[in-house]
Amino acid sequence: MFFNQDGVLNIDEAVAENPSFKKIMEDGIVTEQELETQTQKVISILQEMDKKYSDEQLAEIKELLTEASVLYAVYNIHSLQQIDK
């Protein structure tokens, strides 16, 4: 589920096929309202998960979200560093 047949994490594909992403990117512009709507959607999902899952499961989810966020941040920093070269 997380990886394609070549063993590569397929998150880019999942994002590209996500209805929320498609809707936001229809016009090629991300508005403040679209950011706010997506923020609220994520918060709502996390609040539902908080009710459904055990503390141990929530700790694993939090670790995954944190590490994915670190990856996203350092990937973007790396990309910006490449522009300066």
Tens digit of pLDDT for each residue in 18-73? 999 999 999 999 999 999 999 999 999 999 999 999 999 999 999 999 999 999 89
Tokens of 56: 């141990």
**Which pLDDT does position 82 carry in this prediction?**
87
Which domain, by its residues, includes 25?
1-52
Q: Work out how many domains the chain is built from and give that number.
A: 2
Find tokens 């990937």 and name the residue.
75
DSSP the chain: --B-TTS-B-HHHHHHH-HHHHHHTTTS---HHHHHHHHHHHHHHHHHHHHHS-HHHHHHHHHHHHHHHHHHHHHHHHHHHHHH-
Same domain (yes/no): 7, 37: yes
Same domain (yes/no): 47, 65: no
Same domain (yes/no): 47, 60: no
Entry pTM: 0.79
